[in-house]
Chain A
Amino acid sequence: MEINPLGLISAAIAFLSIWIGHVSVRKIEAITVALWKPMTILITFGLALEYAALSVSNQSLAAVFGILGVTLLWDAFEIKRQAHRVRKGHAPANPNNTRHAAMLAEPNSRATTLNILNRYPIGRAVDPEEAVRLITSH
């Protein structure tokens, strides 16, 4: 039986691009004040990769460009979603970023500099005070 490497190539590029995208989106959103700049760059590269996917005749290369392109387009959207998470306190705010500092200073702000997810699960529901205690008490 002949081996078809296309699925493996696609899986590898999908996994790596999700991983790198996931880490980069959090980092870029945390250090950037004007989010439209990285979003514009991501959308431009995403569309360019889709155009490249349409232009090449090699199936493996077309799949790599096609998958990488849509993940970059998705990452542009994720930058907005990440900013929303920071506002809700679901991701840590960076006080050195003036956009985040403004979120932290808002009246009744839910934003926090703490990363609530930075611990191991304990197997039961916790209230907001305990959620903070669990990540700060050790």
Chain B
Amino acid sequence: MNAFGLIVGVATLLIIGLGFPLVIQGERRFGYLWWPYMLGIGILIIGISLFVPVDWLSVVIGALGATFVWGSTELKEQAIRAEVGWFPFNANKIKPPFEAIIQRWKAPHL
């Protein structure tokens, strides 16, 4: 019997669970226009996982990266959920660098 898959499966579920507050708090404090940075952080974290020799740690870091990548695609809808009052709306968000350029890009949503 190999418990590795079951353990990393449950660990991944818990890490994905962190994605909910990550998206909610991230959008509230920073706004959805930070999505390219969140996507970049996710890809960077997945890249780091390639150089982690310990199997379970590589999986955990990879799953964390995937959570950031997924979160970046959820920010736009979360912004609307806050605008319509399903979540608290914060008008004083921290603007991202290169905001004007990012505004011209289509925010991803899957």
Measuring CB to CB, which residues of chain A are less than 8 angstroms from any residue of chain B?
1-12, 14-15, 18-19, 22-23, 50, 52-57, 59, 61-71, 74, 90, 116-117, 119-128, 131
Contact A55 B84 (CB under 8 A): no
Contact A1 B81 (CB under 8 A): no
- Do A55 and B9 contact each other (CB < 8 Å), given the known contacts A11-B46, A15-B69? no
A128 proximity list for chain B (CB < 8 A) = 84-85
- Do A119 and B5 contact each other (CB < 8 Å), given the known contacts A3-B51, A11-B66? no
Q: Is the interface of A mostly helix, strand, loop or mixed?
A: helix
5 A-B pairs with CB atoms under 8 Å apart are A7-B60, A12-B66, A54-B2, A124-B89, A131-B83
Contact A3 B50 (CB under 8 A): yes
Would you list the 4 A-B pairs with minimal beta carbon distance, nearest first? A7-B49, A53-B5, A7-B62, A66-B9
Contact B4 A63 (CB under 8 A): yes
Measuring CB to CB, which residues of chain B are less than 8 angstroms from any residue of chain A?
1-10, 12-13, 16, 32, 46, 48-53, 55, 58-63, 65-67, 69-70, 76-77, 79-86, 89, 91, 107, 110
A9 touches which of B7, B16, B62, B85 (Cβ 8 Å): B62
Q: 7 new A-B pairs (CB below 8 Å) besides A66-B12, A70-B9, A124-B91?
A: A18-B16, A63-B59, A65-B5, A71-B16, A120-B107, A125-B84, A128-B84
A4 proximity list for chain B (CB < 8 A) = 49-53, 55, 58
Q: Which residue of A lies closest to B59 (CB)?
A: A10
C-alpha spacing A4/B53, complex, angstroms: 6
Contact B5 A11 (CB under 8 A): no
The distance from the CB of B99 to the nearest CB of chain A, in whole angstroms, is 11
C-alpha spacing A64/B9, complex, angstroms: 8
A3 proximity list for chain B (CB < 8 A) = 50-51
B55 proximity list for chain A (CB < 8 A) = 4, 6, 59
Q: Which residue of B lies closest to A65 (CB)?
A: B5
C-alpha spacing A61/B60, complex, angstroms: 15
A68 proximity list for chain B (CB < 8 A) = 9
The distance from the CB of A2 to the nearest CB of chain B, in whole angstroms, is 7
